[in-house]
Structure 1
């Protein structure tokens, strides 16, 4: 039993370590690279217009995945596809690091989810 718990603990530690390795990115570089995002998503990542998602405080790996999905066409949005077309993998990591580092102003989902009014 002790051996199983040791292996399980090691596996959990390895999972957390690999997740942080996958989430690398420079917040400072991301802020510079995200300048074109500010028009829709706000400089603080908390878009005012409800048609644009709030990016501040989102999970880093989630943001990376979404940006890759726009880039490769899994998500169909012509505006976002054009915005991410020239981003490298490092650019995506940096932009995701920046927005995920920002405090979110979303304290409730009221009026932020379709059909919630």
Structure 2
């Protein structure tokens, strides 16, 4: 039984560590690389236009996944596909680190869900 618990503990530590490794990125570099994002998403990642998502405070790995999905075509948005086309994996990690580290101004979903008034 102790061996099973030890193996489970080691597995949990490895899973956590690999998630942290995937989330790495340099936020300062990301701020420079995200300059083109600011026009729609705001310099602080809190877009005031409801057609553009607020990126500030989003989960780092979520932002990475979404950017990869735009890049590989799993998400179909011609504007975003063009924006991410030249981003490397490191660029995506850096931009995600920047936006995920910003404070969100989203305190309620009211008016931020399709169909809300």
Could you tell me how far apart the structure 2 residues matched to 1:73 and 1:83 are?
Answer: 12
Aligned residue for 2:19? 19
What RMSD over aligned residues (CA atoms) do the two structures have, in Å? 1.0
Aligned residue for 2:76? 76
Question: What is the aligned residue count?
Answer: 117
Structure 1 range deviating more: 44-53 or 71-80: 71-80
Q: CA deviation at 1:11?
A: 1.1
Give CA deviations for 1:63-111 in whole Å, capped at 9, x if unaligned: 1111111111111111111111111111111101100111111111111
Gap runs ≥5 in structure 1: none
Could you tell me how far apart the structure 1 residues matched to 2:109 and 2:29 are?
Answer: 30
Q: Runs of at least 4 residues of structure 1 off by over 2 A?
A: none
Aligned residue for 2:90? 90
Normalised to the residue count of structure 2, the TM-score between the two structures is: 0.95
